A and B are shown apart, each in its own frame.
Chain A
Amino acid sequence: EIVLTQSPGTLSLSPGERATLSCRASQSVSSSYLAWYQQKPGQAPRLLIYAASSRATGIPDRFSGSGSGTDFTLTISRLEPEDFAVYYCQQYGNSPWAFGQGTKVEIK
């Protein structure tokens, strides 16, 4: 079973700053099957990135994904007020699906 560990647990930043979120897998994950989601309070998650680096429909280009093997990163180049939320990574493999525990991006 693949376990995804996200870090940090909480990221305190100001609007306009750059956010770097990490997702580490307990064993190698196909980059074809690594996704990132955003969830705001009281809302369902929203797909941001699939296949490690492809933006979903309608997602602004300040969101980018990268990585391979066991280490993946979600970067928000300049935080907008609406970006403060919880972010989850997700992989598809032999588990077959698994989510990380989430990273909360909060306003500093």
Chain B
Amino acid sequence: EVQLVESGGGLVQPGGSLRLSCAASGFTFSSYSMNWVRQAPGKGLEWVSYISTSTSTIYYADSVKGRFTISRDNAKNSLYLQMNSLRAEDTALYYCARVGMARSVDHWGQGTLVTVSS
């Protein structure tokens, strides 16, 4: 069974930093591209960042470009999101998500909540 378990969320002050982690199991992690997707409280889904299997291709949403860094460790079956210069508008539930057929997201974690507030 595919499992994606996020961790690292919490309360942080504006301008602060957090590092999110996602532990993957139940599939060959190194064979799949991965996304981070977030959802602000009561709002819709927003794609954040993408990383290919070998890390050769990385994309960011304009809203996080220059502040967030995605990475992965295939030996540890783990995905990461380093978030710097956090803003109130970054407050959201952050999902780790596996990229499947036709660039859809075929598996999602349960999310980790990031709250940016003073």
Contacts and interface: CB of A to CB of B under 8 A. Distances in A.
Given A33-B103, A88-B44, A90-B105, A97 B110 contact: no
A45 B108 contact: yes
Contacts of A84: none
A47 B97 CA distance: 11
Contacts, number: 66
B101 A51 contact: yes
Interface residues of B, number: 22
Nearest to B111: A44
A37 B105 contact: yes
B50 interface: yes
B109 interface: yes
A100 B44 contact: yes
A44 B108 contact: yes
